[in-house]
Amino acid sequence: MENQKHHKVWFITGASRGFGRVWADAALKRGDKVAATARKLESIAGLKEKYGDNVLTLELDVTRPEQVKTAVTQAHEHFGRLDIVLNNAGYSLVGTIEEASADDVRAMYETNIFGALAVIQAALPLLCAQGGGHILGTSSNLGHVTLPVIGYYCSSKWAFEAIHESLAAEVKAFGIRVTIIEPGAYATEFGSPESLKFAAGLDIYADFKAEFFDGLRSLERGDPNATPEALFQIVDTENPPLRFFLGSHNLPWVRTAYAERLATWEAWEPVSNAAQGGSK
């Protein structure tokens, strides 16, 4: 009966691998229903074979708004409602600020930002009409701090964070809740060729990037299979947080970064105040 009590209907993008696959599988295991989407239907066929009618598998390229609208509507009609809309599709662009072309950056934003927006905008009328729902977005601790070489990816997550924070205030009155999931480093397929795109390199950055990648290789990564219970606590609580760090390394890093920012702003406060003008 416990599973029945928490029975929910999910719509998940990027369900073929990484967190999307782990979370789709875990939700189905606990008795929830899932509309799982991926660019290639065969990549999620295993879910259908395993879970039967509890899963609806849909081909979806989030960069195609009409396909997004069709998939969201189809999922809603199939299950009768959508409780959780989880934007998980995304990839990282590898390249320094100088190296990456505008086309490289634009393509990444089409998936990471505009793809997520298409899903949100397609889902909102349905969630409003049914009296509520929960929008989840997979961001990153890099939505608060940055690393070199993947600065454009970081920038997409900073934009993702701002959009969801504004959204949360706008839809609260409609009973719609918003949570930004912010993972640290995990041993998912996110570092695979399918989840990374590389900008054309410039020789002057070769040594810097080699050192950067050496550092990444020594990074301790979390176990993605340890994450579903945390996600379930978020979606099952009456008052979910707007932001949630996934993993133990994020908070110390972000705490340090914000302390440094505050210290800089405070050090320059007299100059900032003088620039206000007006009466003293």
Q: Does residue 139 have an active-site annotation?
A: yes
- Token pair for residue 104? 């490289």
Q: Is residue 53 part of a domain?
A: yes
Question: What count of other Cβ atoms lies within 10 Å of the Cβ of residue 111?
Answer: 20
Q: Is residue 242 part of a domain?
A: yes
Q: Which is the catalytic residue, given 8, 91, 92, 157? A: 157
Q: Is residue 177 part of a domain?
A: yes
Taking Cα atoms as reference points, which of 166, 206, 158, 199 lies closest to residue 182? 158
List, in sequence order, the alpha helices (H) in 172-278. 206-217, 228-236, 250-267, 269-274
Q: Is residue 117 part of a domain?
A: yes
| Whole-structure pTM value | 0.93
Q: Which of 70-79, 112-121, 200-209 has the lowest mean pLDDT?
A: 200-209
Q: Is residue 279 part of a domain?
A: no
Helix axes 102-109 and 151-171, enclosed angle (nearest 10) = 30
Q: Does residue 33 have an active-site annotation?
A: no
Q: Is residue 237 part of a domain?
A: yes
Condensed to tens digits (0 to 9), the pLDDT of residues 11-50 reads: 999 999 899 999 999 999 999 999 999 999 999 999 999 9
Q: Which is the catalytic residue, given 16, 92, 139, 140? A: 139
Q: Does residue 195 have an active-site annotation?
A: no
Q: Is residue 239 part of a domain?
A: yes
pLDDT confidence bin for 196, thresholds 50/70/90? confident
Relative to beta strand 33-38, strand 55-59 is parallel
Residue 238 pLDDT greater than 70, yes or no: yes
- Token pair for residue 177? 């809740």
What pLDDT is recorded for position 5?
Answer: 52
Residue 255 makes CB contacts below 8 A (sequence gap 6+) with none
**Domains in the chain: how many in total?**
1
Looking at this protein, which amino acid is placed at residue 41? L
Q: Which is the catalytic residue, given 152, 153, 156, 186? A: 153
Residue 258 pLDDT greater than 80, yes or no: yes
Residue 149 pLDDT greater than 80, yes or no: yes
- Look up the CATH number of the domain holding residue 176: 3.40.50.720
106: containing domain: 2-274
Q: Is residue 243 part of a domain?
A: yes
